[in-house]
Amino acid sequence: MRWASDFWGRALFLRNYGAALALLPVLGACHRDEPAPVAHPHYELGAAWHGAQGWFYPSEQFDYRMTGLATRQKAPASGLSTDGEIWAAEGMTGAHQTLQLPAIVSVRNLLNGRIVRIRLTDRGPQGQGRIIALSPKAADLLGMTADTPVEVLEDEVASRTLAEGLGDRPAAQSISAAPVGEVRETSLSDGSSHVYGNDSSGAATSVAVGSLPATWMQASPGPSGLYVLMGIFSGHAAAAGVALRCNGTVLHASEGAGLEWRVLGGPYADIAQADAALDHTRLCGVEGARIIVE
């Protein structure tokens, strides 16, 4: 009776196989591709936002120049950057915690002297110990294999052009409490003022933003000393108090506008030591400290 067993076995296989084939159109009909993100580039300042260790207050600034540590940027979950551009790992873009978006900056690797030019399109990094995040492509061209000491220099003309060409910039309004949409800071020495943060969610246009070339330039490396800047103060006594609590050193500052004294910790042997020192500043009562390179 072996032939009968083989016959019914083949029949059962063919019946199951046919049922599976019949299900394929149904399964295909159930599958839906996620819609591709739609770009809507726009000017963005945005409200204050909370990172890993504290608050960041976005501020419109066109003469930004800062040293610190750069890290690699991760893809945004939505596929769109904060200013409405489609994010791409191969793009020459990056993220910044407080500058208006978009903005054009040059980033110099202080270890090897390489410079890349990128467009800031997103918010981040989350931690106060890093001042900028670069797309994978930009980080590769800069020669970054890990978090890296950098100098960030804003292109004022290019950044103003972007801000003026992407629709109405948000109006300034003074708000006194945090977390807030906006804070206005007025200097007691010269009367100048800066506006930090506001809600620009309604300012969106469909202006196209061109890609920057994936290139790098060579300049001189250095400096490379890692320090923690605990604050800049108008009075020596206030600076000395912070230095005493947090094991820092009081030095004369050159920023002007009445802020004559700064408190530094370091130098530190490596990034791990600098990160540990930055964490310690929060324990000794200092908010807003950051890692700098000198």
Q: Is the pLDDT of residue 42 over 90?
A: yes
Contact indicator for 120, 70 with CB cutoff of 8 Å: no
Contact indicator for 46, 199 with CB cutoff of 8 Å: yes
Average confidence (pLDDT) over 175-182: 40
Contact indicator for 81, 118 with CB cutoff of 8 Å: no
Name 97's Cβ contacts closer than 8 Å, sequence gap at least 6. Answer: 51, 56, 58, 123, 124, 125, 131
Q: Which of 205, 211, 193, 194 is nearest to 169 (CA)?
A: 205
Q: Which of 203, 209, 207 is nearest to 168 (CA)?
A: 203
Average confidence (pLDDT) over 12-27: 51
Q: Read off the pTM.
A: 0.76
The per-residue pLDDT for 122 is: 97
Confidence of residue 231 (pLDDT cuts 50, 70, 90): very high
Mean pLDDT of the chain: 82
Q: Is the pLDDT of residue 192 over 50?
A: no
Which range, 3-7, 36-40, 221-225, 256-260, has the best average confidence (pLDDT)? 221-225
Q: Is the pLDDT of residue 45 over 60?
A: yes
Q: Is the pLDDT of residue 261 over 70?
A: yes
d(CA 220, CA 138): 18
The per-residue pLDDT for 6 is: 55
d(CA 104, CA 155): 6
Provide Rg for the chain, Cα atoms. Answer: 26
The model's pLDDT over 67-96, given as tens digits with 9 standing for 90+, comes to 999 999 999 999 999 999 999 999 999 999
